[in-house]
Amino acid sequence: MTALLTVTNLSRRFGGVHALRRVCLDVAPGETHAVIGPNGAGKSTLFRLIGGQLTASAGGIVYDGQRIDRLPPHRRARLGIAIAFQDAPVFRGMTVVENAMVGAHAVTRAGPLSAVLRLPRHRREEKEIRTAAAAALDRAGLAAWADRPAEDLPLGRQRALQMARALCGRPRLLLLDEPASGLRGPERTALAGLIEELRAEGLSILLVEHDVGFVSRLADRVTVLDLGRVLATGPFPEIRTDPVVISAYLGAPA
């Protein structure tokens, strides 16, 4: 099956630091693909290169048959790539539903500014976006919080809001940056359930996550990065027993 996303020989240097070295990776339609690796392995750099927040020193990124590595982030968003960054801001002074709506404004002509300024000329589009945002909040378990100030959300719920914001733009490829980090038991279970649901609906997901238990439950395939290089790619059971991965990252199986 043709991949939805193909990353080929992607490299990025920061001065003398090789953050990524000739990384190759692909995400098939409907696949959940996890990227794991120790601190400094290059996971965030890879995400920012795919999202367009950084440009590559070399290599290419093809999405849905089109080179995207020179496109700005908003053009990639309009093509259906959404990112839920772990540290994305919650906009204070706006309600939870208005925060989620920003995700749809990123992919419409109205633009994020109209969400902030509430310009009247976009009312019809606003109504559709509000409906999409309400649906996304519902999926993320935040329906009861929709009209509350976003700054009232506890940390775990803020993470769910990043997810709702990303879903609000109805993406085809969802990039999740350490979605389980800082979440406690029930929140983590709810998030894993939502990711499983999205996968069952055919959404393609690329996931960076430190929590190996989370990855083993959710990912169809796992790519292991270390010092900017791909150590291995494959289903988790294979990765778990790969001697190279064990010595570099995972430790011996129990």
Ligand X SMILES: Nc1ncnc2c1ncn2[C@@H]1O[C@H](COP(=O)(O)OP(=O)(O)OP(=O)(O)O)[C@@H](O)[C@H]1O
**Least CB distance from residue 55 to ligand X, whole Å?**
12
Nearer to ligand X, 41 or 174 (CB): 41
CA distance 127 to 112: 15
Nearer to ligand X, 19 or 160 (CB): 19
**Least CB distance from residue 39 to ligand X, whole Å?**
3
Check: CB of residue 24 under 8 Å from CB of residue 4: no
Residues forming contacts to ligand X in the complex (CB under 6 A) are 14, 17, 19, 37, 39-45
**Least CB distance from residue 131 to ligand X, whole Å?**
35
Amino acid at 141: G
**Least CB distance from residue 103 to ligand X, whole Å?**
23
Which phi and psi angles does 29 have, rounded to 5°?
Answer: -55, 130
Tokens of 74: 């908003």
Nearer to ligand X, 5 or 142 (CB): 5
**Least CB distance from residue 48 to ligand X, whole Å?**
8
Nearer to ligand X, 37 or 51 (CB): 37
Handedness of CA 191, 192, 198, 201 (dihedral sign): negative
Tokens of 163: 């997810």
Helix, strand, coil percent content, the chain, rounded in steps of 5:
45, 25, 35
Nearer to ligand X, 57 or 95 (CB): 57
**Selection from 227, 254, 229, 231 nearest residue 244 by Cα:** 231
Check: CB of residue 221 under 8 Å from CB of residue 126: no
